[in-house]
Every structure is written in structure tokens, then in C-alpha cells.
Homo-oligomer: A and B are copies of this chain.
Amino acid sequence: MVVKVHGPTIACSTRRVLTCLIEKNVEFEIIHVDFMNGEHKQPEFLKLQPFGFVPAIQDGDFTLYESRAIIRYYAEKYKAQGTDLLGKTIEERGLVEQWVEVESQNYYSPIYNLVLQLLYHPKMGLPIDEKLMEESEEKLGKVLDIYEDRLSKSKYLAGDFYSLADLAHLPFTHYLVNGIGKAYMIKDRKHVSAWWDDITSRSAWKQVLEL
């Protein structure tokens, strides 16, 4: 069964799902959702995702949305296929969940603010909120200091194994490093930088960037 992924390939949340599907060797087909034409707010798409956010997947009769729920579903459904992304023990899985939550609660939001201000506000002719930018950069810096400490003790976020926790960070960090000229925030932290080089060298992520 080919999994249908509804969403623009350029969206961070879609990329999170696609990276996971490739790591798990799951065949998929992308159904483009046109943000510019507001397709994600049209009745057809809202049947799949009532909140109007991308992505949503269809796997036979089964529909699921929320990128972090989708990656957990495939990591579990195909536990023994492709890269194991959940750890070997229940405690390792606990730590995977902890760092997926840290990404969701502490990490992506300041990057989202920076990307919005630096990349999209100029395109849309909107003013840049300098105060919000400063606060977001400061907040992200503090979060990254904790990552630096963590990654000085283990190779990956949840331990010495690559997992959903690392994978979940790829799309937004990609914008931080390559989209808005803030690579120094990663590069100036020795262990975060080595981690970033490692996780971006994986074939699945490279394939997603080429889609």
C-alpha cells in the first residue's frame, strides 16, 4: 500500500513525515497542497485535516494528521523495517519521546518566529518585529546551550542511537542554518555542530531536500 502524503514538500511538518517514511523504507506518493491558493482551507482538504494544517496521510482507509503523531505511527508500525527510530528499551523510547516533546515545546517556536520575520515578512511587505526577533534568538540560544551539554554526553539526543528525536529537528534547523543566515547558532557549539553534520549527512534527509 503506497502511503499518500498530502502537503507541500517544502513545509517543515511535511518534511518531517517524508524523512521518516524514507528511513523506514515505506513507499509514498505526494499529493501537493497549494498553500498559495489556500487549498489547505478548502472543504476537500478539511475532510482529511479539519484544522487546516499540513500534512495528513492516507494509508488505505486510515487517515492521520499531526506530523509528530504520523512519525510515531510509522516508527512503531514498521519497527523492524528500515532504521529503528524508537530505541531498544522502554526507557530509551521514553527519552525519544522526551526529546520529541522538547523540540515541540521549546525548540521549534523561536526558530519559527525568526523564519517568519526574516524570510516571509519581507516577501509579504510586512514590518520586521525587532523585539520579537531578539527575544527569539536569545531564547533559542539558551535552548541550544542545553543541547550542547546534552550532546557532549551522548551522540544523539535520546542516547547513542539516531531516533525520531533527532529526525524531528531536521526541518526547522535546516531553515535556521540555510534559510536565514543563523548558521552560527549551530556552528559555534561544538557538539551541536557535530550532531548537525551527522544527522544531515543521512541519505533520507538528503533525498527529502531533493524532492
Seen from chain A, the residues whose Cβ lies within 8 Å of a Cβ on chain B are 50-51, 62, 64-66, 68-70, 72-73, 76-77, 90-91, 93-95, 97-98, 100-102, 104-106, 143, 146, 149-150
The answer on a CB contact under 8 Å between B51 and A69 is: no
B68, B105, B149: which contacts A50 (Cβ < 8 A)? B149
B76, B94, B100, B146: which contacts A51 (Cβ < 8 A)? B146
Q: How far is the CA of A98 from the CA of B70 in the complex (A)?
A: 8
Could you show 21 A-B contacts with beta carbons less than 8 Å apart? A50-B146, A51-B102, A51-B106, A51-B146, A62-B94, A64-B94, A64-B95, A66-B98, A66-B101, A66-B102, A66-B105, A69-B97, A69-B98, A69-B100, A69-B101, A70-B94, A72-B94, A72-B97, A73-B94, A77-B90, A104-B105
Q: How far is the CA of A77 from the CA of B92 in the complex (A)?
A: 12
Interface of A is mostly: helix
> Number of copies of this chain in the oligomer?
2
Closest residue of B by beta carbon distance from A149: B50
Residues of B within 8 A of A102 (CB): 51, 66
The answer on a CB contact under 8 Å between A69 and B94 is: yes
Closest residue of B by beta carbon distance from A94: B73
Q: How far is the CA of A78 from the CA of B94 in the complex (A)?
A: 13
The answer on a CB contact under 8 Å between A73 and B90 is: yes
Q: How far is the CA of A84 from the CA of B46 in the complex (A)?
A: 31
Residues of B within 8 A of A143 (CB): 51
The answer on a CB contact under 8 Å between A91 and B62 is: yes
The 6 A-B residue pairs whose C-beta atoms are closest, nearest first, are: A66-B101, A69-B97, A73-B94, A69-B98, A50-B146, A69-B101
Q: How far is the CA of A64 from the CA of B69 in the complex (A)?
A: 20
